[in-house]
Chains A and B, each alone.
Chain A
Amino acid sequence: NAGVMQNPRHLVRRRGQEARLRCSPMKGHSHVYWYRQLPEEGLKFMVYLQKENIIDESGMPKERFSAEFPKEGPSILRIQQVVRGDSAAYFCASSPPDGETPLHFGNGTRLTVT
């Protein structure tokens, strides 16, 4: 049973470019969460999605960031016009619908903005 799959593992973008981060949840999991880990910080919640629905985006920056989880395919975290401050590790997690099972995390995408 494959775990949470994220790609790419490493992503380098120049300032002003777009970054697209992908996440496939564990088999049987219908809930996806995105977290961001800034250097020397703990993980911070960004957004919670179910298929075709954004449930909670209270942790998402108001501009340039968006997330989707389409009916088919992986969840996408999209960052437009990246800036140096977006450099971080972005982790995706998934869970089944029971709401009490601990989150399972992927290995993350490390975004570097040059």
Chain B
Amino acid sequence: AQSVTQLDSQVPVFEEAPVELRCNYSSSVSVYLFWYVQYPNQGLQLLLKYLSGSTLVESINGFEAEFNKSQTSFHLRKPSVHISDTAEYFCAVSEAGAGSYQLTFGKGTKLSVIP
């Protein structure tokens, strides 16, 4: 079984400032890692994923996350946030391999970008 911890439930940050949303996981097997974003009253959209290969993964809108196996972390970062980044961000993990459909989600971090 896996578990995901997102330590910060809310993160306020000023526009154009950098941000890091923390995610730690625990698992006894190899995992895939994901960040999903949920804008108000919408569903979850996949932001980025780590399946294998390079431990640094990037999204098209400037976010990046780094898989750190020794620290069992997958923190999400952005060097300069925009108002439009205001949303809730969920870290998720699944067991690596075929049939990895059971995503285990963290409780989410609400990012509020202040003008």
Contact = CB atoms under 8 A, between A and B. Distances in A.
A binds B: yes
B103 interface: yes
Contact of B46 (A33, A35, A102, A108): A102
A103 B101 contact: yes
Interface string A81-110: 000000000010001001110111111100
B101 A42 contact: no
A103 B103 contact: yes
SS class of chain B's interface: helix, strand, loop or mixed?
loop
Interface in B25-76: 32, 34, 36, 41-46, 49, 51
> Which bucket holds chain A's interface residue count?
20 to 34
Contacts of B106: 42
Task: Kindly name the residue among B6, B34, B49, B103 whose own CB sees the greatest number of chain A CB atoms within 10 A.
Answer: B103
A108 B43 contact: yes
B34 A102 contact: yes
Nearest to A107: B43
Contact of A102 (B49, B90, B107): B49
Nearest to B107: A42
A43 interface: yes
B102 interface: yes
A44 interface: yes
Nearest to A10: B41
A22 interface: no
B21 interface: no
A105 B51 contact: no
Contacts of B115: none
A99 B99 contact: yes
Interface string A29-58: 001010100001111110010000000100
A48 to B, nearest CB: 6
B44 A105 contact: yes
Contact of A48 (B32, B101, B108): B101
A40 B104 CA distance: 15
B101 A106 contact: no
A35 B104 CA distance: 10
A107 B42 contact: yes
Q: Which 5 A-B pairs have the closest CB atoms?
A: A42-B105, A99-B98, A107-B43, A105-B44, A105-B43
